[in-house]
Structure 1
Amino acid sequence: MTTLSDQDRARIAAAITEAEKSTSAEIICVVTRSSSDYWAAPFLWATLVALVWPWPLISITNLTASTIYLTQLVVYAVVALALSFPSSRRMSLTPSWIRRRRARLSAREHFFTQGLHRTVNRSGVLLFVSAAERYAEIMADDSVSVKIGESAWRPILDALRGALARNQLADGVVDAITACGAILAKELPPRENDRNELPDKVIVI
């Protein structure tokens, strides 16, 4: 994953502050290295290889059952270990639909753990990025989602995913926040006596 320097974090925080000047919405940005450790993948593949391994030995050798069983255990251990590192290998062995599901579940979890559902006017907006999966999502609370449909966020997310593919994480996040702010300003302008309920910073996990 492309890391965020202190300067990058300051840029993102400034983008959030600037975007919130024109809207009553509360924006939080969460960037995580990965949405899962994907430890299941190497062990599932090792199990598959170990299950297939004995059949050719039974067909073409005179090895005893106990010897074949021991080789099966060794094969399982070697394959599991070989496929476990680095972490990018575990992720590559995991089907893309599982990676997307894990990332989406992680986004939902952070929406609640960061308190976006507790704003006074239910106007929280989460920009979530899972860098390893190149996954990005915008989740909005009730007051926002009734006025702004998911289709409005799609071009922003497409641009952000493109930035992730080019290893331009910070630039992509800043541009996404700015674009979100422009949409939010039209539909949810500032209210009288608005106060900043959530911190204007990027949360890196």
Structure 2
Amino acid sequence: MTLLSESELRQVAEAIEQVERNTDAELVTVLAAQADDYRYIPLLWASLIALLLPGALLFFSGWLGAWQLLLVQWATFIVLAVLFRMPALTSRLIPRSVRCWRACNLARRQFIELNLHHTDADTGVLIFVSEAERYVEILVDRGISSRIDNAAWESIVACFTDRVKQGQVLEGFLGCIEASGALLAQHVPKTHERNELPNRLVLLP
């Protein structure tokens, strides 16, 4: 995960504080190193190939006995299970849809765990990034979604995603917070002083 210095973490907190001066929205930012360790993916691929390979050998050779097939199957599974654990190979084995699904699930869990669904007037906003998956999502509670269409966040998310792909995580956060703040100040302006949730960037391993 991109390591942010204390100074950079303060920049994020200060950017959130600045935004919340002009809106009733409660912003929380989360940076996850990855959404999942995907340990099961190498095992699934190794199991699938180990199941199919003996059948293919039997079909083409026809002379392998039951014990020989079993040994081939186990040897194939063990070798591939170890080989597929190499990071360079593991990353190629994980479908993009699985990466997005896991990151999406983690974002929603964080929304609940950080109590963004329990803010006054339902104005919680989560800016979530999972760096390994290069996944960015903005989740908002009912008080925000009733005033701002989801399509309005798409360009902000797209810009942030590009920054993450370039390794510019801090710049992405600051730009996203600023753009989100402008949108929120317009549609959910400040009506009273409050700060229900912490402004610091939440870091997940």
Structure 2 partner of 1:149: 149
Q: Which 4+ residue blocks in structure 1 deviate beyond 4 angstroms?
A: none
Root-mean-square deviation (Å): 1.5
Report if aligned partners of 1:12, 1:202 keep a CA contact under 8 Å in 2. yes
Shift of 1:52: 2.3
- Counterparts of 1:14 and 1:68, CA distance in 2: 63
TM-score using structure 1 length? 0.93
Offset at residue 63 of structure 1 (A): 4.1
SS state at 2:122 partner: coil
**Which one-letter code corresponds to 1:128 in the other structure?**
F
Stretches of structure 1 lacking an aligned partner (at least 5 in a row):
none
How far off its partner does 1:50 sit?
0.8
Matches of 1:153 and 1:38, distance apart in 2:
29
Instruction: Report the CA distance between 1:54 and its aligned residue.
Output: 1.5
1:197 corresponds in structure 2 to 196
Partners of 2:142 and 2:63 lie apart in 1 by: 68
By how many angstroms is 1:191 displaced?
1.2
Q: Quick one: structure 1 residues 49 and 21, their matched pair in 2 at CA, closer, same or farther if it must change by over 3 Å?
A: same
The Cα of 1:118 is off from its aligned counterpart by: 1.0
Whole-angstrom distance in 2 between the partners of 1:66 and 1:42: 25
Matches within 5 A, 1:44-83: 44-58=44-58, 59-60=60-61, 62-83=63-84
- Partner of 2:81, secondary structure, is helix
Query: Aligned partners of 1:113, 1:41: CA distance in 2, in Å?
Result: 27
Alignment coverage as a number of residue pairs: 203
Is the Cα contact below 8 Å between 1:31 and 1:129 reproduced in 2? Answer: yes
**d(CA) in 1 for partners of 2:34, 2:78:** 26
Superposed displacement of residue 113, structure 1: 0.3
What is the TM-score normalised by the length of structure 2? Answer: 0.93
Partners of 2:100 and 2:158 in 1: CA distance: 15
The aligned counterpart of 1:40 is 40
Give the Cα separation in 1 of the matches to 2:198 and 2:56.
61
Distance 2:158 2:138 in 1: 11
Structure 2 residue ranges without an equivalent (≥5) = none
Correspondence 1:3 to 2:6: no
Q: Check the 8 A contact 1:50/1:75 in 2, yes or no.
A: yes
| 1:133 alignment partner in structure 2 | 133
Q: CA deviation at 1:16?
A: 0.6
In structure 2, C-alpha distance between the alignment counterparts of 1:106 and 1:91, rounded to whole Å: 19
Contact 1:38 1:91 in 2 (8 A): no
Partner of 1:99: 99
- CA separation in 2, counterparts of 1:187 and 1:89? 46
Q: 1:200 to 1:54 in 2, by over 3 A?
A: same
CA distance in 2, matches of 1:204, 1:99: 19
Larger deviation: 2-11 or 23-32? 2-11
Q: Residue 159 of structure 1: CA displacement? A: 0.4
> Residue by residue, what CA displacement relative to the aligned partner does 1:176-196 show, whole Å, maximum 9, x if unpaired?
01110111011111113x211
Per the TM alignment, residue 103 of structure 1 is displaced from its structure 2 partner at its CA by 1.0
